[in-house]
Amino acid sequence: MNEKTVLAVDPGTSKCGMALVRRRDASDLELLWRAIVPSDDLAAKIDEAQTIAPFSLIIVGSGTSGQKAVHRVREHLPSMGILVVDEKNTTLQARERYWAHHKRRGWRRMLPSTMQMPPEPVDDFVALILAERVLLEG
C-alpha cells in the first residue's frame, strides 16, 4: 500500500479543527500537524499545511458548517480532491483522544476520562479521527 497524506478539517461556525495525517501502510498513521483555527483563516492554514507535507485529498466533516468549508476549499484549490465524511460520535472520541495525549493530573486522575470535559477545544482531534476513518477503513 502506498504512502498517502491527507488534510482533515472539522468545520465549525467560528473555528475549524485541522489535522495533517500520513498513512505509511495499512495500520501505521503519523500525525504531522494539527491546529484549531478561525474559520475565516481556513485557506491560509491549508497553505501552511501544504508547506509541511503535500497532500492529495482534503477530508471535511459533514457537521455544522461542512458545506461552507467545502465551498471555501473549492474556491481556494479548485482541483483538490474533497471527501465529505460523517462526523457521528467524533466529539466523544476526540475527548478520549485528548486525554490520551494530555496526561491527567491531580483530581482528574480519579475520574474516568469519559466523564471529563477537556479544558480546551478538541476540534483538531476530531479532524484526526476523520482522517483515521478514511485512511484506516477506506
For residue range 28-53, list pLDDT tens digits in order.
899 999 999 999 999 999 999 999 99
What is the predicted pLDDT for the residue at 53? 96
Provide the whole-model pTM: 0.92
Q: Say how far apart CA 92 and CA 107 lie, in whole Å.
A: 21
Weakly modelled stretches of the chain, pLDDT under 50: none
Of the candidates 100, 90, 99, the one whose C-alpha atom is nearest the C-alpha of residue 131 is 90
Superfamily designation of domain 4-92+122-137: ATPase, nucleotide binding domain (3.30.420.40)
Of the candidates 90, 69, 68, 138, the one whose C-alpha atom is nearest the C-alpha of residue 58 is 69
Which residues make beta-bridge pairs with 5? Answer: 22
Q: Say how far apart CA 41 and CA 45 lie, in whole Å.
A: 6
In the chain, % helix, strand, coil (3-state, to 5) comes to 45, 30, 30
Of the candidates 133, 124, 138, the one whose C-alpha atom is nearest the C-alpha of residue 32 is 124
What is the predicted pLDDT for the residue at 137? 79
